[in-house]
């Protein structure tokens, strides 16, 4: 009888543990139970009681049981006035740079307001009668990925209109290290708003704290900012993400390679949009001495991909680099050296490359023949300076 009771108690403990541990997120986690901010409603639902809220979210705003945050809030009688949708839209199916339209969520009837295109920052009338903006989006921890820019504009608008911001934190796939050139003021844009490196090693919740604390909002205003932290999150451990952050980052491999390959978006080289391996391959019609071949064609994630229909020569990186924890410059440098087209410059005429890099320095270094190692060494001083800023806002084990 005693043994049976002990077995039942043990079984109950196991069921309780796994009932509260989101297994689809926890990777290489054996000694602790991990939860995202969204999976800690006991911390944020009391803050939303009797409040009118707007939610900034997309397809990644999921709880552990795959329930959408918006649906969970409605079920718990939270009054949602509107949903703000970032780049790629509320359901995450719009191309990069594609205009996202306003609309209505068919399931809940809640109005959807686009925060992309001409309306990147919520207007005062869009925040009228709103008490709290609740932000829950899976970021990828890279400067030119625009969700941190959306967070910045949301915080700025909220501060100007005396609205509180609550961020439900999520893992950063590129946490635990910093890398890349630091942006300079003259090259600020929606793909780089602050003087940070390409990989900045902060969760999106920590990033918001830094924006607020460093007074990077317009006129140095500060938002009323509340962070709902994750439970048992460690910066140097890899965590799965709830859903693909955008159409062309479909898996962990693409996310790992994204900081290194996205520079090609400012060149005559495709990163595989319009193929089954976006951000896992690169190539161009003018890299003919490289062996791998692919042809971009319209698909779900790229309705009119760069170099559409043209045979590209390049490199397939999809089978390696699953543990990549650095910014690789050798692919970019080698592509420049092997590029053969006397009629078109390697870099696009609009110099979008400079916006991605954060200045014109990287482009000039590549043109002058600097090696990947020399380029990376040139970032050291700026990275050290940024690390002193970053350290003030780290709230998880680093």
pLDDT higher than threshold 80 for residue 217:
yes
pLDDT at 107: 84
Backbone angles phi, psi at 212, to 5 degrees: -70, -50
The strand order across the sheet containing 103-104 reads: 103-104, 111-114, 79-85, 52-57, 132-136, 164-168, 225-228
Instruction: Determine the average pLDDT of the residues in 29-55.
Output: 90
Rounded average pLDDT over 106-116: 89
Mean pLDDT, to the nearest integer, of 232-253? 90
**First CA to last CA across the chain, in angstroms?**
48
Helix 330-338 / helix 252-261 crossing angle, nearest 10 deg: 60
Residues 106-135 as b or e (16 or more Cβ within 10 Å = b): eeeebbbbbbbeeebbbeeebbeebbbbbb
Cα–Cα distance for residue pair 232/347, rounded to 1 Å? 44
Choose among 326, 390, 375: nearest CA to 177: 326
DSSP 70-82: HHHHHHTT-EEEE
Quick: pLDDT tens for 166-199. Answer: 999 999 999 999 999 999 999 999 999 999 999 9
Q: What is the mean pLDDT of residues 91-110?
A: 65
Percent of the chain exceeding pLDDT 70 equals 88
How many helices (H) and strands (E) the chain has is answered by 11, 12
- Residue 396, class by beta-carbon neighbours within 10 Å (0-12 exposed, 13-18 middle, 19+ buried)? buried
Question: Strands 79-85 and 52-57: what pairing?
Answer: parallel
When the pLDDT of each residue in the chain is averaged and rounded to a whole number, the result is: 90
> What is the reported pLDDT for 313?
98
Position with higher pLDDT, 4 vs 260: 260
Could you count the other beta carbons within 10 Å of the beta carbon of residue 395?
16
Could you give the 3-state DSSP secondary structure of residue 256? helix
More confident residue, 114 or 73: 73
The answer to whether residue 3 scores a pLDDT higher than 50 is no
Cα 258 to Cα 192: distance, rounded to the nearest angstrom: 15
- Residue 75 clears pLDDT 90, i.e. is over it: yes
d(CA 197, CA 143): 7
What does the alpha-carbon distance between residue 61 and residue 242 come to, in Å, rounded to a whole number?
A: 8
**Local structure of residue 183 (DSSP, 8 states):** P
Predicted pLDDT at 104:
86
With cut-offs at 50, 70 and 90, classify the pLDDT of residue 88.
low
pLDDT at 30: 38
CA diameter of the chain: 86
Lowest mean pLDDT among 6-15, 282-291, 377-386: 6-15
Q: What is the pLDDT of residue 216?
A: 98
SS3 290: coil
Mean pLDDT of 302-309: 96
The model's pLDDT over 262-303, given as tens digits with 9 standing for 90+, comes to 999 999 999 999 999 999 999 999 999 999 999 999 998 899
Exposed e or buried b per residue across 170-190, where buried means at least 16 C-beta atoms within 10 angstroms of its C-beta: bbbbbbbebbbbbbbeebeee
State the Cα–Cα distance between residues 178 and 200, nearest whole angstrom.
5
| Run of H or E residues at 390 | helix 380-390
Q: Which two tokens stand for residue 64?
A: 């552990």
User: Has this prediction a pTM greater than 0.75?
Assistant: yes
Domain boundaries, the chain: 41-242, 252-367
Structure token digits, residue 162: 């005396």
> Residue 240: is its pLDDT beyond 60?
yes
For residue 148, give the nearest of 176, 115, 119, 178 by alpha carbon: 115
Q: In CATH, what number does 41-242 get?
A: 3.40.50.12170
């Amino acid at each position: 009888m005693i043994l049976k009771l002990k077995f039942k108690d043990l079984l109950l403990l196991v069921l309780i543990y796994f009932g509260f541990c989101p297994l689809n997120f926890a990777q290489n986690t054996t000694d602790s139970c991990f939860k995202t901010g969204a999976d800690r409603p006991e911390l944020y639902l009391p803050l939303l009681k009797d409040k009118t809220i707007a939610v900034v979210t997309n397809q990644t705003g999921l709880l552990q049981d795959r329930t959408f945050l918006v649906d969970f809030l409605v079920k718990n009688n939270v009054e949602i006035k509107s949903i703000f949708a970032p780049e790629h839209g509320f359901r995450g199916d719009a191309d990069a740079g594609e205009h996202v339209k306003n609309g209505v969520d068919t399931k809940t009837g809640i109005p959807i307001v686009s925060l992309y295109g001409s309306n990147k920052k919520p207007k005062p009338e869009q925040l009228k009668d709103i008490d709290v903006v609740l932000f829950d989006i899976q970021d990828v921890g890279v400067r030119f990925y625009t969700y941190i820019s959306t967070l910045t504009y949301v915080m700025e608008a909220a501060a100007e209109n005396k609205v509180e911001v609550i961020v439900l934190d999520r893992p950063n796939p590129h946490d635990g290290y910093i890398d890349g050139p630091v942006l300079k003021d003259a090259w600020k844009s929606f793909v780089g708003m602050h003087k940070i490196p390409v990989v900045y090693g902060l969760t999106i919740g920590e990033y918001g704290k830094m924006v607020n604390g460093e007074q990077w909002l317009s006129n140095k205003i500060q938002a009323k900012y509340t962070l709902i932290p994750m439970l048992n999150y460690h910066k140097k451990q890899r965590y799965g993400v709830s859903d693909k952050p955008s159409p062309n980052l479909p898996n962990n491999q693409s996310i790992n390679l994204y900081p290194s390959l996205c520079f090609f978006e400012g060149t005559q080289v495709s990163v595989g949009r319009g193929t089954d391996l976006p951000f896992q391959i690169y190539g161009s019609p003018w890299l003919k001495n490289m062996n791998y071949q692919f042809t971009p064609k319209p698909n779900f994630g790229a309705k009119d991909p760069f170099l559409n229909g043209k045979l590209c020569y390049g490199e397939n990186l999809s089978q390696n680099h699953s543990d990549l924890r650095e910014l690789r410059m050798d692919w970019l440098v080698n592509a420049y050296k092997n590029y053969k087209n006397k009629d078109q410059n390697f870099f696009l005429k609009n110099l979008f490359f400079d916006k991605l890099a954060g200045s014109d320095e990287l482009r000039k270094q590549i043109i002058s023949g600097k090696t990947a190692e020399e380029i990376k060494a040139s970032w050291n001083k700026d990275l050290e300076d940024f690390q002193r800023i970053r350290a003030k806002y780290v709230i998880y084990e680093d």
